[in-house]
């Protein structure tokens, strides 16, 4: 059995609409991954246990999504040397600006790589994880380059309607 390379965690099942975009990318690239709810404030002991076990389990990165006062990515990063990629989930009242600031404004010493708010950030966090893994995997790098080439071709094929 292939060991899990990337962990995808989120503060609540309500984050899944956003975080599923990370999982879809990992599936597309056939990256062994797991996805689960690990809430910083509702299950702090589980969060610590997840972080403490991550390196020993062979995880290469953790993609962590959370909304509001989004402690999860930073607290995970504080408890593991495994790189943490933070995804700000759009919140009900502040549209995710609170999540973004909570994740990106880590004090010096414990970094969290922070991505855009919402689905684009979740997908990009997964693409970033693929790029990290591709440093040690030539076949995966070739697939990542092919993925980008498809985007380039699609952009070049874009046409615009006549002015209204």
Q: Contact positions toward ligand RP5, by CB under 6 A?
A: 10-12, 14-15, 39, 66-68, 89
Nearer to ligand RP5, 48 or 147 (CB): 48
Cβ 59 to ligand RP5, closest distance in Å? 20
Cβ 36 to ligand RP5, closest distance in Å? 13
Cβ 73 to ligand RP5, closest distance in Å? 10
Q: What is the CA radius of gyration of the chain?
A: 17
Residue for token digits 């995804």? 87
Q: How many Å apart are CA 27 and CA 141, to the nearest integer?
A: 15
- 110, 141, 149, 155 alpha-carbon torsion, rounded to 10°: -10
CB 73 within 8 A of CB 47: no
Q: Count of H helices and E strands in the chain?
A: 6, 5
Nearer to ligand RP5, 42 or 148 (CB): 42
Nearer to ligand RP5, 25 or 65 (CB): 65
Nearer to ligand RP5, 10 or 132 (CB): 10
Cβ 16 to ligand RP5, closest distance in Å? 10
């Amino acid at each position: 059995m292939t060991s899990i390379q990337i962990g995808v965690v989120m503060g609540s099942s309500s984050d899944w609409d956003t975080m599923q975009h990370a999982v879809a990318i990992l599936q597309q690239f056939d990256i062994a991954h797991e996805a689960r709810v690990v809430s910083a404030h509702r299950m702090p002991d589980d969060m610590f246990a997840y972080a403490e076990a991550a390196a020993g389990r062979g995880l290469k990165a953790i993609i962590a999504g959370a909304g509001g006062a989004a402690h999860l990515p930073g607290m995970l990063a504080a408890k593991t040397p495994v790189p943490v990629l933070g995804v700000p989930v759009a919140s009900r009242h502040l549209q995710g600006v609170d999540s973004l600031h909570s994740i990106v404004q880590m004090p010096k010493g414990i970094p969290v790589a922070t991505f855009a708010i919402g689905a684009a950030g979740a997908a990009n966090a997964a693409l970033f994880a693929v790029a990290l893994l591709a440093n040690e995997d030539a076949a995966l790098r070739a697939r990542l380059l092919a993925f980008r080439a498809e985007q380039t071709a699609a952009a070049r094929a874009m046409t615009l309607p006549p002015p209204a």
